[in-house]
Structure 1
Amino acid sequence: MLKPNSPWRIPLVRELTIILAIKLSILIGIKAIWFTEPVVPEDGAGRVSERLFGTSEPPVQNLRVNDEEPPK
């Protein structure tokens, strides 16, 4: 069955192998549950360019036909 000098005959080797297998399966499960899809921020390119180049242009508001222009 097992050779006399096999590393599997040492209880510490068996326990460490089992513990590592359990930890690996838990980490793979966590990755599959929480880290499956990348999160894309809204207007990411605009926010990055604002940070890098300091362009702080106010957002453009489209006026409807019945709206009045805001007072300045």
Structure 2
Amino acid sequence: MPAQAPSPWKIPLIRELAIILLIKLSLLLAIKAIWFDQPTVPEDGSSITSRHLLGDSQTSPADKESAR
């Protein structure tokens, strides 16, 4: 009978690496479930972004002059 190849799980290094990877994966999934479960969308976010990128379009130039 031919000799069977040894199982990779009998090597201690492979077992330890697999256990560490499972622990890390479970911790990452737990962190994701706790802190990143819902997206945080600010109220009126699109207008805040447009004002930041394009300038304040709601006030006229005369209002800007009086604000200085």
TM-score under structure 2 length normalisation = 0.71
* Structure that is richer in helix per residue: 2
Aligned to 2:42: 41
Deviation string, structure 1 residues 6-54 (Cα, Å, up to 9, x no partner)? 1111100001101110111111011111100000112111111111211
Q: CA deviation at 1:55?
A: 2.2
Letter in 1 for 2:21: L
SS in 2 for 1:22: helix
Aligned to 2:62: none
Q: Which aligned segments of 4 or more residues in structure 1 are displaced greater than 4 angstroms?
A: none
Q: Percent identity?
A: 59
What runs of 5+ residues in structure 2 fail to find an aligned partner? 60-68
SS in 2 for 1:57: coil
Greater shift after overlay, 22-31 or 46-55?
46-55
- What does 1:9-20 align with in structure 2 at a 5 Å threshold? 9-20=10-21
Whole-Å separation in 2 of the counterparts to 1:42 and 1:4: 62
What runs of 5+ residues in structure 1 fail to find an aligned partner? 59-72
